[in-house]
Structure 1
C-alpha cells in the first residue's frame, strides 16, 4: 500500500561507496562525536531525547557529508541490537522526487495542491510551489522501515481517521503523519526507537521548509508525549549550521526562577578537539558498546541499592 522501495538500504550502500571522497579530517572529527558527553547522554538515557549535530565543512556542498557516514555507522551498530529499532532518512540524497522505483504519480502531480484530492484535509494546503512529494516519500519510507523492523502482530495497523485509499494514492501528508505517530505509540516500553534525519540543511529551502517543519515537529513531539511508551531518540544532523530547524532543539528552562534561560540539545562539531587518529568504524561501534555496558552496570547498581 505504501508503494516504497528499500530506500534506506540503497542510501547506506551509496554513502559507503563514496566514503573516501570526503576529507579525512572531516571523517575523523565525525567519529569523535561518540566521545562527547552530550552524545553519550543521548545514547544511554533511558528516557526519550533529541539531539542536533551540525558541522561547518569546508568542502563543496554535495548530497552527503562525514555526518552521513557517521549515521550509517550508527545504523549498523544499532539495528542488530535487541529491542532497538533504527529509522533513517538522508535528505541530501532526496532533493528530487521521481527515481522510477516507486509506484507513485509523477513529481509534478504529487506536489499539486492537495485540496484537489482531499477537501477536508485543509492542513495539507501549503503555499504554491511547495514540494510535498519528497517529504511524503520520506514519511512513507520511515513507516515502511518501522513495519519491516517490528512485528506489530495481527492487530489492525490503520488507526481511526486514516483512509487506506489516501495512503495508497499518496496525496495526503497529514494522513502519513497521523499513521506514523500512531504506529510509534503502539511500541512497547522495552523498545528504543532511534530516528535519524541526516542533512536537514538541504530541506531548509523555501520549497521544502513548511511540510518538513510539520513532519519534524511530529517526530520531536514523540520525545515528550506522555502516551508514547517506547524511548524515542531523535538525531538530526546537518553539514552546515541551520537557521530554522535548530529552534526545535532549544527549550525554555522552567526551573530558572523565571529567568527564561534556554537550554539546547545541539552539538557543534567545531567544539570537538582535533584528533590525528585514523578513521575506524570498528572503533566507533566498540565505543558505543562500552557506553551501553557502563549504563547497564549503573542501572544494575542502582537496582541493587534499591
Structure 2
C-alpha cells in the first residue's frame, strides 16, 4: 500500500519528497505513516478516486495498528465496507485513528491532489479531504498530521483551506539555489507545519 513502487507519468519532485519522508517516518507503532499518490490512480487504474484513496489509507492504517482488536462502530457493517460506502469508510478511518494511543504521530501524505480535481473524481475526493481536515481540526488522542501536495495550482482543495492561510506553503516562496529549491529549507518548513498540526501544500496557489 502507498504506491512506493511502479512507474507513472504523473511523478513530480514533490512525489519524491513525499515518498522519501513517508518511508523515513514509517516506524509503527511509534509513528504511523500513510501515503496515497493520486497520479498513480487515474483513468487506466481500476482503483482510482476518493474511494480508492480512503480504502488505501484505511488499509495502511490497519496494517500499522498496534492493537489486536478495534472497538466496532454499530452503524457500520461489513456490507457498508464491501459496498464502498465512502462516507462510512471515512467515518471508520477517523474512528480507528482515534483509537490510537495518546500522542501517537500519524503522518498522512497525499501527493498530486490536483489530479483529482477533475469532474470524474472530485465528488468523492472532496469527501475524503474534508474528513481528513476535520480529523486535524477537531483533534484526536493521536497527533494526526496531513500533507497535501500539488505541483500545479488547485482550486477546490485550496478553497477547503482558505480559512487556514498559515497552512499553505508555496514552492515559489522557498529559497532557490541555482535551479532548485533548497531541500533543507523545504524540510524545515514541512516539519514546522507538521508541528502546527496541518500543512496543505500547492505548487502555485
Q: TM-score surpassing 0.5?
A: yes
2:145 paired residue number? 233
- Asked if 1 retains the 8 angstrom alpha-carbon contact of 2:174 and 2:181, the reply is no
TM-score of the aligned structures, taking structure 2 as reference length: 0.80
Distance 1:79 1:171 in 2: 27
**CA positional deviation for 1:98:** 4.5
Give CA-to-partner distance per residue, 1:64-110, whole Å, 9 cap, x none.
200000001101211137621111100111013655xxxxxxx8xxx
Specify which of 141, 145, 148 is matched with residue 63 of structure 2: 148
**CA positional deviation for 1:155:** 3.8
Query: Does structure 1 residue 207 correspond to structure 2 residue 120?
Result: yes
Distance 1:141 1:96 in 2: 17
| CA-atom RMSD in angstroms | 2.8
Distance 1:96 1:152 in 2: 36
1:85 paired residue number? 32
**CA positional deviation for 1:279:** 10
Distance 2:44 2:135 in 1: 27
Classify 1:155/1:245 alpha carbon distance in 2 versus 1 (closer, same or farther; 3 Å): closer
Aligned residues: 189
Query: Does structure 1 residue 197 correspond to structure 2 residue 110?
Result: yes
Specify which of 174, 177, 181 is matched with residue 94 of structure 2: 181
* 2:163 aligned counterpart, secondary structure: strand
2:23 paired residue number? 76
Specify which of 70, 74, 77 is matched with residue 160 of structure 1: 74
1:242 paired residue number? 154
Classify 1:244/1:154 alpha carbon distance in 2 versus 1 (closer, same or farther; 3 Å): closer
Distance 1:185 1:163 in 2: 19
Q: Which one has the largest radius of gyration?
A: 1
Give CA-to-partner distance per residue, 1:18-40, whole Å, 9 cap, x none.
8xxxxxxxxxxxxxxxxxxxxxx
- Asked if 2 retains the 8 angstrom alpha-carbon contact of 1:219 and 1:234, the reply is yes
* 1:238 aligned counterpart, secondary structure: coil
Report 1 or 2 for greater relative contact order, CA contacts < 8 Å, sequence distance ≥ 6: 1
Classify 1:278/1:225 alpha carbon distance in 2 versus 1 (closer, same or farther; 3 Å): closer
**Runs of 4+ displaced beyond 6 Å:** 277-280
Query: Does structure 1 residue 12 correspond to structure 2 residue 4?
Result: yes
* 2:175 aligned counterpart, secondary structure: coil
Classify 1:277/1:212 alpha carbon distance in 2 versus 1 (closer, same or farther; 3 Å): closer
| Structure 1, gaps ≥5 residues long | 1-5, 19-61, 100-106, 108-132, 253-262, 296-306
Give CA-to-partner distance per residue, 1:194-253, whole Å, 9 cap, x none.
111100110111121122111100001111215x1111110000010111101222227x
Distance 2:50 2:174 in 1: 32
